[in-house]
Amino acid sequence: MKKKTGAIAPRAAKRRKTGVSERKAAPQRLRMAKEAASAPRSPVAPNDAKPAIRRLRAQLARALARIDDLQASADTDFLLDIPNRRGFERELHRAIAYIKRYHASGALIVLDVDRLKPINDAFGHAAGDVVLKAIVAVLRRHVRASDVVGRLGGDEFALLLWNLSETDARAKAAALEQAIDRLSFTFRGSMVTAGASAGTAILGPHAEAGRALEQADSAMYVRKAQRRHESDVQS
């Protein structure tokens, strides 16, 4: 009998020892499980972090607003407050994408100011700036709010006009030439005029921005040569 009791006793002691260690480890495992479960479901920041988050959000909003301002200034002619070449080409690409998608139509007019260089040479660039501003005012009066007037550079402008046929576009180009021809300026007691030559291109479902600009530009130079010839004949 004693021998059997001695054989059973070590196993019982082992079970008791194992049960004690498991009971000690259970609270620690439970605490770790609770922490792991609660961590990803805690969207609310600690109270002491909320002011820092608000400051970061305000800084981000100011930075984004500054980026928008810089983007706008990069696409705008600072003297005339109209799109520069980059801004106009961006609008032209957007317009052509719209025309292709919705089967709309439009026209492109490229216009070059005549005799601006002699005015700059004789009266200075400030006088030339006055002429350019007056021409932009004329262009804006002759287009709709949905149309776009841009400066391609120097004395060259471009107009993006919606829903015009080829006949209408040519008539609009002629009207712009006439309106600019009627402008007159007085610098240092001398009255001067500028003038403009315009060429057109139609924007349809197969239009491409670069090709349309080249076509309107080529038509403008043809028109400029024609106007020069007409002026020589009249004189």
Q: Which residues pair with 160 in a beta bridge?
A: 108, 148
Alpha helices by DSSP H, listed for 124-199, are: 125-141, 166-181
**For helices 125-141 and 166-181, what crossing angle results, to 10°?**
140
**181 tagged catalytic:** no
Q: Which two structure tokens, joined as six digits, stand for 123?
A: 């009266």
Query: Is the distance from CB of 51 to CB of 44 less than 8 angstroms?
Result: no
Q: Which of 77, 112, 155, 217 is catalytic?
A: 155
Q: Which residues pair with 203 in a beta bridge?
A: 106
- Largest Cα–Cα separation, the chain: 144
The amino acid that residue 172 corresponds to is: K
Active site residues: 155
